[in-house]
Amino acid sequence: MSSERLAALLDEYAELEKRLADPAIHADQNTARRVGRRYAELVPLHKAADELEQARADLVAARELAAEDPAFAEETDSIAATLPALEERLAELLIPRDPHDAKDVIIEIKAGEGGEESALFAGDLLRMYTRYAERHGWLTEVIDAQDSDLGGVKDVSLAIKTKGVPDGGNGVWSRLKWEGGVHRVQRVPVTESQGRIHTSAAGVLVLPEAEDVDVTVDPNELRIDVFRSSGPGGQSVNTTDSAVRITHLPTGVVVSCQNEKSQLQNREQAMRILRARLLAVAQEQADAAASDARRAQVRTVDRSERIRTYNYPQNRITDHRIGYTAYNLDLALAGELDGVLDALAGADRTARLAGDTELTRR
C-alpha cells in the first residue's frame, strides 16, 4: 500500500475534522455539506488505519511478553492472524474511489422501441427506482415528465437525494451509477390481444447532480426559449408560455422542462439538469484525456444494446455485464434491487483491486 497516499489522506481527514469543528463553516450550508461529505468518505479509512496501527502495536507488545513468558505465544499468533485482513481492508480503501460516490443523482428514463409498451415499461422503471429510494430513506422529486396515453412515461427526469451527509460517503451515485444503459423487457403487452410475448426497451441515463462549485455556467453561453406546455401542469397549460428550453451553445446540450406552472420554476429545474449533464461531459473529457475513461453509458435505446433484461414469464432479471441472474423480478420491480446492485458493486471492486478501473460490460 502507498504510505505516502495514506499519510496524505489522513492529513486531509485531520484538516476536515478541524474545519467541521469550526462553527463558522455552518454559516454556508453548501460548503458545510460538501466538507461533511468528504469527511464521511475518509472516516472508514481513518478507522481502518487506526485498527491496523493498534493491532501492530498489540503484536509488538505480545511478542515482548512472549519472550519472557511462553504462555503469551498463543496470543501473539492470534493477533498476527488478524493483520492480513486489516491490511487488505486498508489497501482496498486506498484505491482511488469514484469522485462522485457521495453525490445525489438525476435519472433520466426515455421510452424507446416498442411504442406504448415501451412507455409503460419506462413507467415501471420509474416506480422501481422511486421504491428503491424509499427503502433507503432517500428523497425523490420528478423534475420533468412527458406522460403517455396509457399511463406510462415517454420521458422523465427523476432527482434522488440523501437526507443529510451520506454514511461513509456512499451517496445515491455509489449505488445507482450502474443503472445507466438500455433496459429490455420481455412480456405480453396490455395492448397485445393474441397473448404473444413482445420485447421492448427503455433507456436510462444516470447523472451525478452537480453543485455550483462543480460546474460554472456562463449565462452568455445559454440560449433560452420559452413555449407553451403540452402536458399536465394546471390551468396555465396551453395558455401561457411557461415551458423552458435551454441550449448550452458551446456543447450543444439541450434541456427542456414544462412540469411547473411558472416559467421561473421550469427554468430552475432545467438548469439543474443542465449542470448535471455538463458535469458528466466534463468528467468524460477528463477521463479521456487521462486515458482512463469510464465507458459511456448507452444513450441509444436499441434493444440489442442492453445491459439488463426483465423477463416477466420467467420472473427473471438478468444483468448481462456480469452474468447475474435471479428469479425475483417481482421483488426487484418493487424496489428490492440490492441483490443485483451488490453484485455489480462487487464486480467493480474486484476489477479495481486488480488494477482495472472499469466494470466489464458485456
| CATH number, domain with residue 38 | 1.20.58
Closest CA to 46 of 82, 12, 80: 12
> In angstroms, rounded to a whole number, what is the distance separating the alpha carbons of residues 80 and 77?
5
Tell me what pLDDT residue 298 has: 40
pLDDT above 70: percentage of residues in the chain: 88
DSSP structure class, residue 239: T
Tell me what pLDDT residue 303 has: 45
Q: Is the pLDDT of residue 237 over 50?
A: no
Structure confidence by residue, pLDDT tens digits, 81-104: 999 999 988 988 888 888 889 899
Closest CA to 310 of 205, 208, 204, 173: 204
- Cα torsion angle, 136, 25, 105, 98, sign: negative
Confidence of residue 349 (pLDDT cuts 50, 70, 90): confident
Find the DSSP H helices in the chain.
Answer: 3-21, 29-68, 73-94, 116-135, 172-176, 263-289, 329-333, 338-353
Is residue 359 included in any domain, yes or no? no
As for how many domains the chain has, the answer is: 3
Tell me what pLDDT residue 253 has: 92
Confidence of residue 106 (pLDDT cuts 50, 70, 90): very high
Tell me what pLDDT residue 296 has: 41
Is residue 298 included in any domain, yes or no? no
CA-derived radius of gyration, the chain: 25
Q: Where are the beta strands (DSSP E) in 209-277?
A: 222-227, 243-248, 253-257
> In angstroms, rounded to a whole number, what is the distance separating the alpha carbons of residues 188 and 170?
38
186 and 320: one domain?
Answer: yes
Report the CATH number that the domain containing residue 208 is assigned in CATH.
3.30.70.1660
Domain boundary among 48, 68, 94: 94
Domain boundary among 94, 119, 151: 94
DSSP structure class, residue 95: S
Tell me what pLDDT residue 292 has: 40
Tell me what pLDDT residue 230 has: 67
Looking at per-residue pLDDT, the higher value among 185 and 351 belongs to 185
- What does the pLDDT average to over 125-154? 93
For the chain, the average pLDDT equals 85
Tell me what pLDDT residue 74 has: 85
Lowest-confidence pick of 33-37, 140-144, 272-276:
33-37
- Residue that is written with C-alpha cell 477528463 in the block: 286
Tell me what pLDDT residue 240 has: 66
182 and 242: one domain?
Answer: no
Looking at per-residue pLDDT, the higher value among 143 and 213 belongs to 143
189 and 256: one domain?
Answer: no
171 and 311: one domain?
Answer: yes
Domain boundary among 247, 262, 289: 289
Closest CA to 244 of 218, 272, 221: 272
Q: Are 150 and 234 in contact (CB under 8 A)?
A: no
147 and 256: one domain?
Answer: no
Is residue 294 included in any domain, yes or no? no
- Residue that is written with C-alpha cell 458535469 in the block: 279
Tell me what pLDDT residue 216 has: 82
Q: Is the pLDDT of residue 238 over 60?
A: no
Is residue 345 included in any domain, yes or no? yes
Q: Is the pLDDT of residue 108 over 90?
A: yes
11 and 73: one domain?
Answer: yes
Q: Which three cell numbers stand for residue 261?
A: 406552472
Is residue 231 included in any domain, yes or no? yes
Q: Is the pLDDT of residue 297 over 60?
A: no
309 and 208: one domain?
Answer: yes
240 and 153: one domain?
Answer: no
Is residue 40 included in any domain, yes or no? yes
Tell me what pLDDT residue 29 has: 81
32 and 152: one domain?
Answer: no
Distance set, CA 62 to CA 51, 87, 151 (Å): 16, 19, 69
The pTM assigned to this predicted structure is 0.75
Strand partners, 33: none
Structure confidence by residue, pLDDT tens digits, 197-234: 989 999 999 999 887 667 888 899 999 998 887 654 44
Report the CATH number that the domain containing residue 255 is assigned in CATH.
3.30.160.20
* Structural domain boundaries, residue 275: 219-289
Is residue 360 included in any domain, yes or no? no
Tell me what pLDDT residue 214 has: 74
Tell me what pLDDT residue 92 has: 83
> In angstroms, rounded to a whole number, what is the distance separating the alpha carbons of residues 156 and 123?
9
- What does the pLDDT average to over 115-121? 91
Confidence of residue 288 (pLDDT cuts 50, 70, 90): low
Tell me what pLDDT residue 351 has: 82
Is residue 295 included in any domain, yes or no? no
194 and 120: one domain?
Answer: yes
Q: What is the DSSP string of 166-212?
A: PGGG--HHHHHGGG-EEEEEEE--TT-SS---EEEEEEEEEEEPPPT
308 and 247: one domain?
Answer: no
> In angstroms, rounded to a whole number, what is the distance separating the alpha carbons of residues 299 and 304?
13
Confidence of residue 195 (pLDDT cuts 50, 70, 90): confident
308 and 181: one domain?
Answer: yes
Tell me what pLDDT residue 357 has: 55
Looking at per-residue pLDDT, the higher value among 249 and 240 belongs to 249
